Structure 1
Amino acid sequence: MSGSEAVGFKVAEDLRSIAAPAPASVAAEIDPLPSNRVTRFLDHARWYLISMVAVFFVLCFNGQWKIGRDSALYRGLAHNVAIGKGYVWGDLAGGLIYPGYPLLLAGIEKFFGRGDLAPLVVMNLMAPVILLLSYKLIRLHYPRWLAVCVTVLVGANGRFVALHNDLMTDIPFMVGLLMALYGWERLRIGVGAAGTPVDDPPSAAKPL
């Protein structure tokens, strides 16, 4: 066996070991996180907390585009694509910016026109998707109260709110990143017939 073949077999073995489900004995040895009145309150009041975040999102939405250099480049490229001029705008934008987000904006403009409202609504619809994926990802390994706490704090974060009310690539990137992480983690730990992790820690509460 040549050196390159040996390296290839070693890499394949390492990948199989990473993707293999964790043994049940390992999950059984996980110490449960402490439960107290605060954690029980977070668990019981989860729908109230999530509703508060939803109301916060609605109150923060004004449907106005905050003009900036990068978002102007995205929208300029998107507009030219939408009207059939191609992926060009100015002298440098087409060569500096990856086409994913401008193409998304171009599709929105094709369907809803050039206004600011439609793309901002799409960005705001991505925010709950991010929170849901964050919750589901944490819920694979930790109790429900902790997943609720992290999700609510992310939703109430001022920087997060500012990002999903702007036309930038951060929010779509977060959606893709969390989808990849959640999908990989589900594959890594294994998924039972009912769609729940096979090796869910015994301390975790029932899924939401």
Structure 2
Amino acid sequence: MEQIDARPRLVIATAGAEPRVMAPGKDLEQTAAYQAVAILDAWTSLYALGVDARLDLLTAWMRTVALCKPRAQGGQALILGESDPSLVQALMTWHPDLLAAAELADRAQTGLPPTVALASLWGNRQAVSWAIGQLGANLDGDMGLLEVAGEQMPSLMGPVPIAPQSNLAVKPLEGTGDRVRALVRVPVAQRDELALRLHRIISTYMASRGRSELRFCMDPKDLT
């Protein structure tokens, strides 16, 4: 249901599917507002996965709370359950920049985008290992180390196995099961160089008739 009338009622909806309240006695283009909005699953913010998980949650919550009347008109929004303090503070004060600043500080400490440039490399284990060596992302390579919060850290994270899809109706082809993913971090100033090297490595691999899977993506949203 996309629209409801303004009669008193309790509406339970998933995020993004909240029906709009239509103002009584007006055309269909005019909407009213909820008297109160309650976020029932705030605890999920503590377990949300993904680099932008908290930012995505704040966006969804603000979109939902925006359907409520202003506080000056008696409207109120409730957050039920334990949640991330930075996330709650940004919502309560209606200042998403508070969460953005906290996110940026956390990422500067852990060496995650946008404070660094990052590439995801995945495919067959042997192909990925070969590509890492060609890229210079091993500890003895010129892209092997990265300075994070004043300390030298390996630029390479992984490779780690990629779990096979559990919903496949047929058995995977032989030789396609040993898939891994690796993440390579470099300073932002070296982003273009990283992308160029990976493009050349993939092109060389394909030109040599490499039959195994080997792909890459710059600045992926999902790091898992």
Using the size of structure 2 for normalisation, the TM-score is 0.22
Using the size of structure 1 for normalisation, the TM-score is 0.23
Structure number having the greater helix percentage: 1
Structure number having the greater strand percentage: 2
Choose 1 or 2 for highest CA Rg.
2
Higher relative contact order (CA 8 A, sep 6+): 1
